Amino acid sequence: MTNTALAFESIRSLADRIGSGRLRPVRLAEELLQRIDALDGRLRSFIRVTPERALAQAHAAEIASKDGANLGVLHGIPYAAKDLFDVKGLPTMAGTRLLANRIALQDSAAVQKLESAGMVLLGKTHTVQFAYGASGINHDHGTPHNPWHAVPHAPGGSSSGSAVAVASGLVPVALGTDTGGSVRVPAALCGIVGLKTTVGRVSRAGVYPLSGTLDSVGPITRSVEDAAMVYQMLQGMDARDKSTTGIASHDVLQGLKDGVKGLRIAFGETVFFDDVDPEIEQAVREAGKVFRALGAPPSSVALPEVAAAWAEKHRPLLIPAEGCAVNRELLDNHGAELDPVIGPRMLTGRTLCAPDYIALLERYADLQKQIQWTLRDIDAFIVPTTMSPALPLAAIDASPETYLDYNMRVHRNTGIGNLLNLCAISVPCGFTSGGLPIGLMIYAKPFHEDMALRIAYAYEGATQWHARHPDLAWTRNQAGAAAQFSSS
């Protein structure tokens, strides 16, 4: 088996090989570390690779397997973690050099969960500074390179490095966080799968926060089943994160392959299709034909709560207000050293007064209840993940205005789901005429990740978009070489 073939194996396939003894965890880790070494100089997905830790964990997994102590489907599987997740002994920099000395004293809850399943950490991935940006641009640490084009294009953010690493076959899964779309946007722009979980499903303990109200943790993978298997392990109550109190785990694997026949799926027509790139709208509408063929012809549903959530006067200030509280010391004492776009954007949060902040939270709590009533006869609704495909970084970053405009175009449809605390998954559903990925977003009611995953799995199984991987020849050629695409 070639290195490239191994790189794009699914978790299920890798697990079967490890379980049968045909693939050693050490060999798997070594080959992916070699791939990272060969390709990531141009991709820039990892901010820190941890080969010693990875090989030690892979060796331990290998010994356990030989001793009959295989821990399950994730045993020996490599992963990466966005540089918001604490990993004991490593810095958690949250996209800024100012936090280079912030060394984690213990693993985050998510890292603990995955490593208790026998997974192998290859390293930590780049993020937008403070996780506050949907384009994926970081003016401090540098921006990961979307693998689908030789010319630097937006990778999506803020889980930019995680998505680039997974899409490029450097690692089968990476941890991300989603506050306004930070798992789903990079997944869509990089042509892979991103699961946004309901707040309360997965502990955020040990994750550098942006918004305590909206932050969630989710996996970025190359297949829906892979996302389901990792989510199955991540979920569960944790005393360190009060949002998880009373939220029992659920089994998302048992019904994953039950199909969609008879399910009630609809196009979400309010706001989500407004001003969307025509090629993206066409691809998403075409996805409706797939569901029709599978026995779940989509209807259309009006969602007044969506328009209300997006139109709230103080909506743009919610995340920066909570971000200001987290990053007060850095904003006050090191403002000139921060990303020149992120710092000023976050400081706008200080204009939101306490009464307006409380009223805004109450308003969104009401809208969250109302949309569940609106969706009482709907299992899920489908919309474009982003309004725009990936664009060249030079065009996005030409001015603060073009930066902010693109940021809105890629996070509007995802951010609405955070405000309403819906769960969602983005899956690839096509490519633009320029060869850039398009994402289909499947929204389900809060705490119905099993339904979102089930519908996504059925769609994925009926299409081949997920099987298409970028040809990374440009990483070895001169900058600007034409990007080509494979269907391996």
Query: Is 313 a residue of the active site?
Result: no
Question: What is the per-residue DSSP string for 393-440?
Answer: HHHHTTSHHHHHHHHHHHHHHHHHHHHTT-EEEEEEEEE-TTS-EEEE
Of 95, 45, 85, nearest in space to 343 by CA: 95
Q: Which residue among the candidates 82, 113, 196, 445 is catalytic per the annotation?
A: 82
Residue 291's alpha-carbon distances to 260, 281, 297, 298, 462, in angstroms, are 8, 16, 6, 7, 9
Q: What dihedral angle (degrees, nearest 10) is formed by the CA atoms of 196, 385, 270, 321?
A: 60
Of 130, 114, 139, 138, nearest in space to 57 by CA: 114
> 3-state class of 441 per DSSP?
strand
DSSP classification of residue 156 = -
The H or E element that residue 370 is part of is helix 354-374
Cis peptide before 168 (omega within 30 of 0): no
Q: What dihedral angle (degrees, nearest 10) is formed by the CA atoms of 336, 338, 342, 345?
A: -30
Report how far Cα 296 is from the mean position of its chain's Cα atoms: 27
d(CA 418, CA 93) in angstroms, rounded, equals: 24
Q: Does residue 300 contact residue 458 with C-beta atoms inside 8 Å?
A: no
> 3-state class of 91 per DSSP?
strand
Query: Is 158 a residue of the active site?
Result: yes
Angle between helices 224-234 and 449-461 (to 10 degrees): 160
d(CA 104, CA 302) in angstroms, rounded, equals: 46
Q: Interior CA angle at 348 toward 342 and 351, to 5°?
A: 165
d(CA 315, CA 339) in angstroms, rounded, equals: 23
Burial class from Cβ neighbours inside 10 Å (0-12, 13-18, 19+) for residue 270 reads buried
Angle between helices 11-20 and 25-43 (to 10 degrees): 150
Residue whose entry in the numeric block shows the structure tokens 């000023």: 344
What is the helix, strand, coil percentage profile of the chain, to 5? 45, 15, 40
Query: Is 289 a residue of the active site?
Result: no
d(CA 360, CA 370) in angstroms, rounded, equals: 15
Q: Which residue among the candidates 108, 182, 216, 426 is catalytic per the annotation?
A: 182
d(CA 216, CA 419) in angstroms, rounded, equals: 12
Q: Which residue among the candidates 45, 108, 135, 158 is catalytic per the annotation?
A: 158
Catalytic residues: 82, 158, 182
